């Protein structure tokens, strides 16, 4: 078990897929009809939920759609009324890693691969949760990797090396993040502290009623990334608890920001493993659907679904009977642009072709950040 996790994380660092694999994937039969989601009547969002499918390029989305129900099937976010195309080069290269890409959504600035919320000169960059906390916002992060991994870390850590996860863990404890759920227990100093965040470590503690009485929560359900065979919570379970925590805590505040990542779609791409990729994607898709149901009930919530980059150079070839030959052409990230899907107030801002830095700008625009009054959330 430990060994397979080790292989996965080694692949993340060194791109270990052979890049020659062709896997035959069955076309699925779940053709349930799509739901029409209308454009929002309001233009200003109160809450933002940002979903990241790490490594989820357009062909990962297409393969998941075909494997689930064929060409007429709609994935949860394919029902969203607005879509755009996002280019994602880093400050130094056309090739981006997760750290540089996540830094663009978190701060609006491009940086060097491996850097988190500092610019190419290592200057501190304020992140969306930090900016919003001054306006009375609550923020949360969910990931199926360690919560100190590049994507979630870009929202609270300021450091020029994504692999210094023990330092990053300290930054999370001291950050403005109100709830953070994922893996990475091995990076935290687990000594008891009276005034630190409330720490939880097992599925039973992932309970909305229990957590609603706490100010700041960090949930660590694995030593590092999640090994699903060991039964950590799903992305769906963590995101639902984070959503209800943030909804409750932001009642007397301006609103909330939540980032939820399907981290291992990327790891499956590095590993050139379709079955692994589709399993991770299934949890991701269900999580987006649950959040969409929340946004249908709470019309002031903007939902965005995007990726940091595509992984694996996935090519979908001419079908053989009812099977799709899916070929991985690299064990690394590739340069294809990725999609963004938007639903809720402000969604129109995410239409067209954009650079990944513009996602940050457009989120603040959707919230009308400049004109938000500062509040301290007290009732
Ligand atoms: Zn990767």
Give the whole-angstrom CA distance, residue 306 versus residue 293.
18
> What percent of the chain has pLDDT above 70?
92
Cβ distance 176 to 151 under 8 Å?
no
Measured distance CA(258)–CA(268) in Å, rounded: 24
Percent of the chain scoring above 90 in pLDDT: 85
User: What's the mean per-residue pLDDT of the chain?
Assistant: 92
Please calculate the CA angle 343-280-103 and round it to the nearest 5 degrees: 60
What per-residue confidence (pLDDT) applies to 38? Answer: 83
Q: Separation of 216 CA from ligand 1 center, angstroms?
A: 29
What domains does the chain contain, in order, with CATH numbers?
2-371 (3.40.720.10)
pLDDT single digits (tens) 95-122: 999 999 999 999 999 999 999 999 999 9
Are the CB atoms for 314 and 63 separated by under 8 Å? yes
Give the tens place of pLDDT for each residue, 211-260.
Answer: 999 999 999 999 999 999 999 999 999 999 999 999 999 988 889 999 99
CA 199 – ligand 1 centroid, Å: 28
Neighbours of ion ligand 1 (CB under 5 A): 266
What is the distance between the terminal CA atoms of the chain, rounded to a whole angstrom? 47
Least confident span in 179-193, 236-250, 296-310, 340-354: 179-193
pLDDT of 16 over the 70 cut:
no
Per-residue confidence (pLDDT) for residue 8, from 0 to 100: 45
Label residue 10 by pLDDT band (50, 70, 90): very low
Q: Return the closest-CA partner of residue 34 out of 95, 86, 81.
A: 81
CA of 12 to the centre of ligand 1 (A): 5
Q: How many CB atoms lie within 10 A of CB 248?
A: 14
Q: Compute, in angstroms, the gap from residue 300 CA to the centroid of ligand 1.
A: 33
Model confidence band, residue 379 (pLDDT cutoffs 50, 70, 90) = very low
Q: What's the CA-to-centroid distance between 110 and ligand 1, angstroms?
A: 18
Distance 166 CA to ligand 1 centre (A): 20
pLDDT at 12 (0 to 100): 47
Q: What is the mean pLDDT of residues 62-73?
A: 94
- State the distance from the centre of ligand 1 to the C-alpha of 56, rounded, in angstroms: 10
Ligand 1 centre distance from Cα of residue 150 (Å) = 10
Ligand 1 centroid to Cα of residue 6, in Å, is: 15
| 8 Å CB contact between 336 and 87 | no
Q: H-type helices in 250-333, by residue range?
A: 264-270, 274-297
Q: How far is the CA of 215 from the centre of ligand 1 (A)?
A: 33
**How do 255-262 and 314-316 pair as beta strands?**
unpaired
């Amino acid at each position: 078990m430990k060994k397979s996790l080790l292989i996965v994380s080694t692949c993340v660092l060194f791109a270990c897929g052979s890049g020659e694999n062709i896997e035959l994937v069955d076309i699925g039969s779940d053709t349930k009809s799509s739901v029409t989601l209308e454009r929002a009547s309001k233009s200003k969002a109160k809450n933002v939920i940002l979903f990241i499918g790490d490594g989820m390029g357009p062909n990962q989305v297409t393969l998941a759609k075909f494997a689930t129900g064929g060409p007429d099937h709609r994935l949860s976010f394919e029902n969203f009324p607005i879509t755009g195309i996002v280019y994602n080069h880093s400050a130094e290269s056309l090739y981006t890693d997760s750290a540089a890409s996540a830094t663009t959504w978190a701060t609006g600035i491009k940086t060097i691969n491996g850097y988190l919320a500092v610019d190419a000169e290592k200057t501190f960059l304020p992140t969306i949760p930090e900016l919003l906390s001054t306006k009375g916002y609550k923020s949360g992060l969910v990931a199926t990797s360690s919560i100190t991994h590049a994507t979630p870390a870009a929202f609270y850590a300021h450091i020029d090396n994504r692999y210094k996860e023990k330092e990053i863990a300290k930054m999370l404890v001291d950050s403005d993040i109100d709830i953070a759920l994922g893996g990475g227990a091995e990076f935290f100093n687990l000594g008891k502290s009276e005034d630190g965040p409330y720490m939880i470590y097992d599925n039973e503690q992932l309970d909305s009623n229990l957590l609603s009485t706490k100010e700041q929560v960090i949930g660590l359900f694995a030593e590092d990334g999640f090994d699903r065979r060991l039964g950590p919570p799903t992305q769906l379970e963590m995101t639902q608890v984070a959503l209800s925590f943030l909804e409750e805590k932001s009642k007397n505040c301006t609103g909330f920001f939540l980032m939820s990542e399907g981290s291992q779609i990327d790891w499956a791409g590095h590993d050139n493993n379709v079955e692994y990729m589709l399993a991770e994607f299934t949890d991701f898709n269900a999580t987006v659907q649950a959040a969409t149901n929340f946004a249908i009930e709470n019309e002031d919530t903007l939902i965005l679904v995007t990726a940091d980059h595509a992984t694996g150079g996935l090519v979908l070839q001419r079908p053989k009977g009812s099977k799709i030959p899916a070929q991985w052409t690299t064990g690394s990230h590739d340069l294809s642009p990725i999609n963004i899907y938007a639903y809720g107030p402000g969604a129109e801002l995410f239409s067209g072709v954009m650079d990944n830095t513009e996602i940050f700008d457009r989120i603040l625009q959707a919230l009308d950040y400049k004109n938000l009054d500062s509040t301290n959330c007290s009732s």
